[in-house]
Amino acid sequence: MDKNKFAINPPMGWNSYDYYDTTVTEMDVRNNAIYMAEHLKKHGWEYIVVDIQWYAYGTGSKRDQYQYIPFSKMAMDEYGRLLPCPERFPCSENGKGFAPLAEEIHRLGLKFGIHIMRGIPREAAHRHLPILGSKHTANEIADPSSICSWNPDMYGIRPDVSGAQEYYNSILKLYASWGVDFIKCDDICRMDMPSAKKEIELLHNAIVNTGREIVLSLSPGPAKLSEAWQYETYANMWRITDDFWDKWELLLQMFERCEHWQYHVGEGCFPDCDMLPVGKLGKGFGKERDTNFTKEEQKTMMTLWCLFRSPMMLGAELTKLDDWTFSLITNDDVLKLLTVSRNARQVRRDEYTAIWRADDCSQKCSYLALFHLSGEHTIEVSAKELGLETFVGKQLTELWTKESIKENSDHLTITLPEHGVSLFQIKTI
Amino acid sequence: MDKNKFAINPPMGWNSYDYYDTTVTEMDVRNNAIYMAEHLKKHGWEYIVVDIQWYAYGTGSKRDQYQYIPFSKMAMDEYGRLLPCPERFPCSENGKGFAPLAEEIHRLGLKFGIHIMRGIPREAAHRHLPILGSKHTANEIADPSSICSWNPDMYGIRPDVSGAQEYYNSILKLYASWGVDFIKCDDICRMDMPSAKKEIELLHNAIVNTGREIVLSLSPGPAKLSEAWQYETYANMWRITDDFWDKWELLLQMFERCEHWQYHVGEGCFPDCDMLPVGKLGKGFGKERDTNFTKEEQKTMMTLWCLFRSPMMLGAELTKLDDWTFSLITNDDVLKLLTVSRNARQVRRDEYTAIWRADDCSQKCSYLALFHLSGEHTIEVSAKELGLETFVGKQLTELWTKESIKENSDHLTITLPEHGVSLFQIKTI
Amino acid sequence: MDKNKFAINPPMGWNSYDYYDTTVTEMDVRNNAIYMAEHLKKHGWEYIVVDIQWYAYGTGSKRDQYQYIPFSKMAMDEYGRLLPCPERFPCSENGKGFAPLAEEIHRLGLKFGIHIMRGIPREAAHRHLPILGSKHTANEIADPSSICSWNPDMYGIRPDVSGAQEYYNSILKLYASWGVDFIKCDDICRMDMPSAKKEIELLHNAIVNTGREIVLSLSPGPAKLSEAWQYETYANMWRITDDFWDKWELLLQMFERCEHWQYHVGEGCFPDCDMLPVGKLGKGFGKERDTNFTKEEQKTMMTLWCLFRSPMMLGAELTKLDDWTFSLITNDDVLKLLTVSRNARQVRRDEYTAIWRADDCSQKCSYLALFHLSGEHTIEVSAKELGLETFVGKQLTELWTKESIKENSDHLTITLPEHGVSLFQIKTI
Amino acid sequence: MDKNKFAINPPMGWNSYDYYDTTVTEMDVRNNAIYMAEHLKKHGWEYIVVDIQWYAYGTGSKRDQYQYIPFSKMAMDEYGRLLPCPERFPCSENGKGFAPLAEEIHRLGLKFGIHIMRGIPREAAHRHLPILGSKHTANEIADPSSICSWNPDMYGIRPDVSGAQEYYNSILKLYASWGVDFIKCDDICRMDMPSAKKEIELLHNAIVNTGREIVLSLSPGPAKLSEAWQYETYANMWRITDDFWDKWELLLQMFERCEHWQYHVGEGCFPDCDMLPVGKLGKGFGKERDTNFTKEEQKTMMTLWCLFRSPMMLGAELTKLDDWTFSLITNDDVLKLLTVSRNARQVRRDEYTAIWRADDCSQKCSYLALFHLSGEHTIEVSAKELGLETFVGKQLTELWTKESIKENSDHLTITLPEHGVSLFQIKTI
């Protein structure tokens, strides 16, 4: 199994976090999956991912104090492997785990993913639980000083001791047996935390060991540029940002993050700009609310993600999508870039403007995105700056409006709304 | 109870760590206590302190891998309070704790101390054990992200939640009931770790609450100068160095540490230069060995500690003391400074030399210590630099050799051996 | 000359910075001096200090871009010693320097001080100017990589090379010849800059070398706790804060700074809380304005400075003092603490309250200051917390209101206004 | 002019630094150029680069104290533009600058480069020299706090003020008029120094402004991964390491540096592993000496640099090359990789081994390099790990020994000497 061969384009799907936080239930997942199958699948959306703490009891019950209640009860088998909390996922009872839910989702023609935390449950280590397929016990592989800075559930693993690989093998084997297609492993790549390079490799090995094509996604980001080789060698996608939310400052920063990571996009291998906080969000965080992004900002986001070829995970509650948001995420001309864009690269970046270019895999056209960041709304760009001889004889089609322009000079002048974007397909005519 | 009134001079005693590491037994403690009572008590030595991991089973059994075996079995009561491991402290069985051993030591006319780690056992938190005298449970007060960087046993406490003070009260109550006279709390003051100021206050309150005169000693150091007020207000002594061992570099650094802390020595209140690694050391660390300090270095150490009024804890196995070491630690003229030295202050410090002065509480004499650090062995000092008008009419008695000199000039010239010291009592005649 | 014997109490005076920034002129200085001689001298105020850039031409002319104009013209003699800019200090012409102005000030019964920057003018180094009294030239002692982070005028000095001490000797000799009584040396002590310990010693030596009693004041702060020994050994005062201005947050922080430095107050030796930004301020910074402190905050500041025995330098334009401010800075009962307060110490400090105590040098009374910081305005304190047996039989006189109270219990309850203070003298009756 | 079109392969040449430090003379440069033209040019070597301080008088005269004598005399024109020191470069007299030397070198069929420091001479700023082609003066564009941490000659430039671009234009115009083909700008890219991104852009603009094809090389490294876009957009090569010398630790680190930068190699755009410290080195540093690298280490270095496509600058005194070193640097099979290697990538990296692969631009063969780093000398690798189906039917030719092997399995086993390498060309037969 070659990890880069089964998800060659950026994964597209839905993730429970932005709307449900830690409280998502089986029914919520099912409803979103049904919606996706009916309305979004035809546009390429296919993954349904259950995010953090599906194994925990009482999630959300102390939301004023904790996002993650310390020392709370977790569903776990006798080998220290976490299981879905039966209160929220009743179909998991009797040791079935996520198998029934995964099966439902597969029947809808979709794929199923889950979130995991790096390491082994602290409780497993304190209870000296055996590691399946090994003579070792959890306390032998757990590193009591390797803890997540924001979640209290796990201890990191001593990657070089006997039993470490076996532990990751044991959980991946279980998850593969359920039919999991996508693993989002958290607390495993972040600039300001110690390197977990070796644990990434163990996870990769464990996936290969299952024989199942499971996408490996790393969080929480921002990933370390200096560990790009590990990400590319062992994972399919890695977050280049900490949790992305609907704030302009975060979207603005993404231009710089994409600048840094533009050299690392490849087949089966994607720097990840994180979920799309569009539509209805936030219920599990306290109150359902609409995205704070303006429509222009949302188009800017969609353009950057698609051109750059970031994985695309919807944060919205799908069953509550409004028409405009639906049109945003089903613009096939724009979404197509996820498949055909190649060599996306920053051409200009200053306080006011970002300009990106990309080729098309067919080599029959190319792409140009002009972004308004601040200040003046009119952007001028020369053909030369874009690596073109001239605009004469080119047709530029804006992919959001479908409007075409023909420039008869070597300069292009575009006026954009606040935080707006124009995304052109450029063809020689 | 005024914390500064019952140990007004620097505590003097023996600590199990330098010789036994984590492996000390009841019999070892008893033998050292008997030796102290017979041979050292008359010179002021009186504390017997059992250092780290007296509660742990199997200590030392994996010394090639760990100093502190993670997730190992600990003796603990139903309230999450640690108890002596009965394998090493058989007299503690049947819930007697350290009471029988403390009683023995008290009968010898000595005082009894124990080491504790800041916080609550991780296991207590994971097991949700009740806190004695409170409606709360361990998981509610434990902070899962407050961990010691080098020892895996405990979680720090959320000092502001209900149950936190009660927990410290509960353990101090137990320790007071055993007859403990001295608590060395570890992982609670160190420059490069987050402040544990509030936990120091909780510990102090818990001691006051017992009504027993228990010395509070803070480790591991180096303490933070910026938290001196907390130490002085709530503790009796605090380590100004990380573990001190028999290396010249560490002894050399102590001159700077004492420079920093000279302003903070007071009645019942002592910056702590740490244990005296003299005589036989290291058995628990792998192999019994002699101190690496030269005799001159040991005199330098004794002089600095006594003049500065550091607490004095012997690291040696007392039953194996050689004659020279015995004479070193029973030089009453030098040890007397622990009681009478006042206002010890650095007068000169450069690469080559350190010069310190101190007053005597009687105001009838004063002290001068000249230390050779490197380079030239001859030190010149003017009366003026020492705050004296002249040396004429003064008698200078060197307290290690008992030799007296009379200087008839305003300059003093002393030749010292490598890393050596002259300690003068200065009297007007 | 013993540096601690001629300014045994905290210096009190006026400094040009808070009102004039870099633009103060001879006439401004003279006017403030005349006012002080007539109105403030009887209350203890005596120093007149000319702050930064008295040597520079065109100061303030590019205030929108620079506080300190880089590479601007400086008045300098042939030995690289800075001279007053004759445009602003015409009486300095013909090589007289500050001598005429100092003489005027002395005639008024006051003392004269100037600000200097650590090091040697960059221009002197680039021009290879000779060092007076030395065979060396400026380029040999200047360290081209030792620069001030905020002022472009000087290079620091290589303290260990020949010519370094001579350079400082040469400038101090000049300043002593002018009649300077106070040197505020800037860029020489600050937590986040490399240590300039050695240059402090050179400056001290240079002062001793003049034979003149010149106070040495170190800036900009916050000073390093770990270098307290150098400050105490070589200087008279050192800033424990960066520039202090009329913002409550800065005043609030001063409680912590005083906590840290309370151990370091001595005869001739003062941690310095910086200037008092009262009355009219800021003209040189762009616009004259009134202090932003409330009256209560100003009393809080005066109380803390006096009890703690900080040096006191008025930032106000003296000729524009209003009655209330005049009364604030001439309250002799409060100012007296600068002379008689001893052993000022923090007793309590939390989010809401600071409580300080001090002894009186006469031992006939003591002091208590209660400060409101935030939250509840009523403060309760027990006699025991203050180190007293009881309040019974004590008379407490509040030094701002002159009101006396007698407490017949062991508890004192005081209600304070926002950011207010009560300052009690406590006497046994 | 497209900066990526005129030096499409990694520049190969000689640099004066490793042998001469700051002391190189016109005659030294000439001799090395003549040698290169006669013996090395046919193997691709063509640049002759004069490194640091060609403008300074008295270089090397205080080598015991300084590498760069502060405030020393520099040759400079009336616009603050540095000129060759006529004492070392007599042909530069009468304002001819490096033109005569460049012309000689060009006549030999070679190219001529010089080193510059970022910024403007400090002396020019202090003297307020005019900027050619501008109404501004040096003091207006110099930033007095932007200094190099190790060289005292220059101030950095405020990139956004008027006159800044003009200054860089003025120096590049001069250097272009001399016939300079290569600029090595120092103090402009390094991880631990503030970003000089904007100055890189100014330099690039200044080169474009000359119309001359001048390679822009950035030092000292290690460059910042997060600024790769600037380097690629504005420069031709940038150092990914601080000064590289003949120590195994530094060579070992280069494997990691190449791992990080492998994504950034392109036409006209090269991460730079720095000079090759082979042959005779170090005369200007105090004493001529032979490289400390073993022969195996030198082959390892050559292999990595060539496969990775680093620029190649010889540090050796060329006129003293021994036969073995000559053969090392004229192995055309290996050197050819500089031109044909594409997509060089790390395949394995652990404590013991590094394995790299590269394609050939012809797509008719590929490359494999196996490096011994430590431990076991036998390396096993599977075809699969290299992205090959099998070794069967492949011919592997080792490019140092010219020996061919045919593997009949899917595994390759190679035994290497200490720090040795095998570099295979792989062809299907």
pLDDT digits (tens, 9 = 90+) for D11-67: 999 999 999 999 999 999 999 999 999 999 999 999 999 999 999 999 999 999 999
Say what the pLDDT of residue A289 is: 98
**Chain B: partners with 3+ C-beta pairs within 8 Å:** A, C
Residue with tokens 């818990």: B206
Q: Do D225 and A262 touch (CB under 8 A)?
A: no
Q: Do D71 and C152 touch (CB under 8 A)?
A: no
D161: tokens are 């003020």
Say what the pLDDT of residue C236 is: 98
Q: Mean pLDDT across chain C, nearest whole number?
A: 97
Q: Which of 246-285 (B) contact C at CB < 8 A?
A: 259-260, 262-264
Say what the pLDDT of residue A406 is: 86
Q: Which of B386-395, C4-13, C17-26, C158-167 has the lowest mean pLDDT?
A: B386-395
Checking ipTM against 0.85, whether it exceeds it is yes
Angle (CA) B381-B387-B392 rounded to 5° is 70
Contacting residues of B for C226, CB less than 8 Å apart: 225, 260
> Is the omega angle on the peptide bond into residue D222 within 30 degrees of 0, that is, cis?
yes
- Identify the bridge partners of residue B424 per DSSP, sorted by sequence position: B368, B398
Angle (CA) A268-A270-A272 rounded to 5° is 145
Say what the pLDDT of residue C429 is: 85
pLDDT band at D97 (very low <50, low <70, confident <90, very high): very high
Measure Cα distances from A153 to A124, A414, B150, B243, D201 in Å: 10, 51, 20, 32, 48
Is-contact C140 C209, C-beta < 8 A? no
Whether the per-residue pLDDT at D429 is higher than 90: the answer is no
pLDDT digits (tens, 9 = 90+) for D107-127: 999 999 999 999 999 999 999
pLDDT digits (tens, 9 = 90+) for A233-245: 999 999 999 999 9
Residue C301, classed as helix, strand or coil, is helix
pLDDT band at C317 (very low <50, low <70, confident <90, very high): very high
Mutation target to probe the C interface, by most C beta carbons within 10 A, among D62, D76, D126, D193 is: D126
- Among C125, C149, C152, whose Cβ lies nearest the Cβ of D71? C125
Q: Which of D311, D238, D248 is nearest to D276 (CA)?
A: D311
**How many CB atoms lie under 10 A from the CB of residue D116?**
23
**Chain C: partners with 3+ C-beta pairs within 8 Å:** B, D
Say what the pLDDT of residue C65 is: 93
C154: tokens are 């000087």
CA distance, residue A188 to nearest chain B CA (Å): 17
* Residue of chain A with shortest Cα separation from D264: A263
Contacting residues of B for C386, CB less than 8 Å apart: none
The length of chain A in residues reads 429
Interatomic CA distance for residues C266 and D195, integer angstroms? 46
- Among B229, B264, B346, whose Cβ lies nearest the Cβ of C229? B346
* Residue of chain B with shortest Cα separation from A148: B145
Per-residue pLDDT of chain B (429 residues; tens, 9 = 90+): 799 999 999 999 999 999 999 999 999 999 999 999 999 999 999 999 999 999 999 999 999 999 999 999 999 999 999 999 999 999 999 999 999 999 999 999 999 999 999 999 999 999 999 999 999 999 999 999 999 999 999 999 999 999 999 999 999 999 999 999 999 999 999 999 999 999 999 999 999 999 999 999 999 999 999 999 999 999 999 999 999 999 999 999 999 999 999 999 999 999 999 999 999 999 999 999 999 999 999 999 999 999 999 999 999 999 999 999 999 999 999 999 999 999 999 999 999 999 999 999 999 999 999 999 999 999 999 999 999 989 999 999 999 999 999 888 899 999 999 999 999 999 998
**What residues contact A427, with CB distance under 8 A and at least 6 apart?**
A364, A365, A394, A395, A397
Contacting residues of B for C227, CB less than 8 Å apart: none
Interatomic CA distance for residues B86 and B75, integer angstroms? 8
Interatomic CA distance for residues D326 and D278, integer angstroms? 10
DSSP for D185-229, please give it: EEEEE-TTS---HHHHHHHHHHHHHHTS--EEEEEESPPPGGGHH
Q: What are phi and psi of A271, to 5 degrees?
A: -60, 135
Whether the per-residue pLDDT at D406 is higher than 90: the answer is no
Q: Do D226 and A262 touch (CB under 8 A)?
A: no
Summarize the confidence of residues A380-394 as an average pLDDT.
93
Q: Do A346 and D263 touch (CB under 8 A)?
A: no
pTM of the prediction? 0.95
Residue B75, classed as helix, strand or coil, is coil
Q: Mean pLDDT across chain A, nearest whole number?
A: 97
**Chain A: partners with 3+ C-beta pairs within 8 Å:** B, D
pLDDT band at C419 (very low <50, low <70, confident <90, very high): very high
Whether the per-residue pLDDT at A409 is higher than 90: the answer is no
Summarize the confidence of residues C362-383 as an average pLDDT.
96
- Identify the bridge partners of residue D353 per DSSP, sorted by sequence position: D372
**What residues contact A347, with CB distance under 8 A and at least 6 apart?**
A355, A356, A357, A381, A385, A386, A387
Whether the per-residue pLDDT at C409 is higher than 90: the answer is no
pLDDT digits (tens, 9 = 90+) for D284-325: 999 999 999 999 999 999 999 999 999 999 999 999 999 999
pLDDT digits (tens, 9 = 90+) for C200-233: 999 999 999 999 999 999 999 999 999 999 999 9
CA distance, residue A83 to nearest chain B CA (Å): 18
pLDDT digits (tens, 9 = 90+) for D195-239: 999 999 999 999 999 999 999 999 999 999 999 999 999 999 999
pLDDT band at D407 (very low <50, low <70, confident <90, very high): confident
Please name the residue ranges forming H helices in A127-192: 138-141, 164-178
pLDDT digits (tens, 9 = 90+) for D252-290: 999 999 999 999 999 999 999 999 999 999 999 999 999
C34: tokens are 């005349």
Q: Which of 123-162 (D) contact C at CB < 8 A?
A: 123, 125-126, 128, 139, 142-145, 147, 149-150, 152
Say what the pLDDT of residue C95 is: 93
pLDDT digits (tens, 9 = 90+) for A80-115: 999 999 999 999 999 999 999 999 999 999 999 999
Residue with tokens 């880089």: C70
> Is the omega angle on the peptide bond into residue C220 within 30 degrees of 0, that is, cis?
yes
DSSP for B282-336, please give it: -GGGTS-EE-SS-HHHHHHHHHHHHHHT--EEE-S-GGG--HHHHHHHT-HHHHT
